[in-house]
Amino acid sequence: MRVTVFSAQPYDRRFFDELVESRPVDAELEWVYQDAGLSAATVALAEGSDAICVFVNDCLDAEVLEALAAMDIRAIVLRCAGFNNIDLETAHRLGLFVARVPAYSPEAVAEHALAMIMTLNRKTHRAFNRVREGNFALDGLLGVTLHGKTAGVVGTGRIGLCMARILKGLGCEVLGHDPYPSDAFSAHGDMVSLESLLARSDIVSLHCPLTEQTHHLMNRETLATMKPGAMLINTSRGALIDTPAVVAALKSRQIGALAIDVYEQESELFFRDHSAEIIDDDVFARLVSFPNVLITGHQGFFTVEALREIAQVTCANLIAFAMGDDCPNRL
Ligand code: NAI
pLDDT tens digits for range 38-53 = 999 999 999 999 999 9
Residue 14 sits in the same domain as residue 146: no
Which atom of ligand 1 is least distant from the CA of 160?
Answer: 26
What one-letter code names the amino acid at 96? Answer: L
Residue 255, SS3 per DSSP:
strand
Name the maximum alpha-carbon separation found in the chain: 64
Question: How many A from CA of 185 to the centre of ligand 1?
Answer: 14
* Number of separate domains in the chain: 2
Which residue is closest in CA terms to ligand 1's atom 4?
A: 157
203 and 259 both lie in a single domain? yes
3-state secondary structure of 41: coil
- The answer to whether residue 36 is domain-embedded is yes
Q: How many CB atoms lie within 10 A of CB 24?
A: 8
Distance 239 CA to ligand 1 centre (A): 13
If you average pLDDT over residues 257-279, what whole number do you get?
Answer: 94
The domain containing residue 169 runs over which residues? Answer: 106-295
pLDDT for 26 equals 65
329 in any annotated domain: no
* Residue 230 sits in the same domain as residue 112: yes
Which of 11, 83, 105, 109 has most ligand 1 atoms within 8 Å of CB, for mutation? 109
Is 74 within a domain?
Answer: yes
Q: Cβ(238) to ligand 1 under 6 A? A: no
- The CA-CA-CA angle for residues 163, 79, 302, to 5°, reads 45
pLDDT number for residue 27 = 65
Distance 182 CA to ligand 1 centre (A): 13
- Those residues whose C-beta lies under 8 Å from the C-beta of residue 248, and which sit 6 or more positions away, are 220
Q: Report the candidate in 21, 16, 11 with the shortest Cα–Cα distance to residue 32.
A: 16
Closest ligand 1 atom, residue 213 Cα:
18
Query: At 111, is the pLDDT very low, low, confident or very high (cuts 50, 70, 90)?
Result: very high
> Is 331 within a domain?
no
**Residue 107 CB–ligand 1 contact under 6 Å:** no
159 CB less than 6 Å from ligand 1? yes
Query: Residue 29 has what pLDDT?
Result: 84
Residue 20 and residue 159 in one domain: no
Q: Whose CA is nearest to atom 32 of ligand 1?
A: 209
Ligand 1 pocket test: which of 109, 201, 208 has the largest number of ligand atoms within 8 Å of its C-beta?
208
Q: Which amino acid residue places its CA nearest to atom 39 of ligand 1? A: 300
Q: Alpha-carbon distance 65 to 70, whole Å?
A: 9
CA distances from 140 to 120, 195, 256, 292 (A): 12, 32, 14, 11
Cβ-based neighbours of 97, under 8 Å, separated by 6 or more? 51, 74, 75, 76, 321, 327, 330
Alpha-carbon gap, residue 182 to 191, rounded angstroms: 9
Q: Are residues 180 and 110 in the same domain?
A: yes
Distance from the alpha carbon of residue 305 to the mean position of ligand 1, in angstroms: 19
Is 81 touching ligand 1 by the criterion CB < 6 Å? yes
Paired residues of 177 in beta bridges: 154
| Lowest mean per-residue pLDDT among 28-32, 235-239, 312-316 | 28-32
pLDDT confidence of residue 25: 66
Confidence check: pLDDT of 147 > 90 = yes
What residues are labeled active site? Answer: 237, 266
* Region for residue 171 given its phi and psi (left: phi exceeds 0; alpha: psi -120 to 50; beta: otherwise): left
Are residues 230 and 114 part of one domain? Answer: yes
The verdict on 172 and 285 lying in the same domain is yes
In the chain the beta strands, taken as DSSP E runs, fall at 2-5, 30-33, 51-54, 75-78, 97-99, 150-154, 173-177, 190-191, 203-206, 230-234, 255-260, 293-295
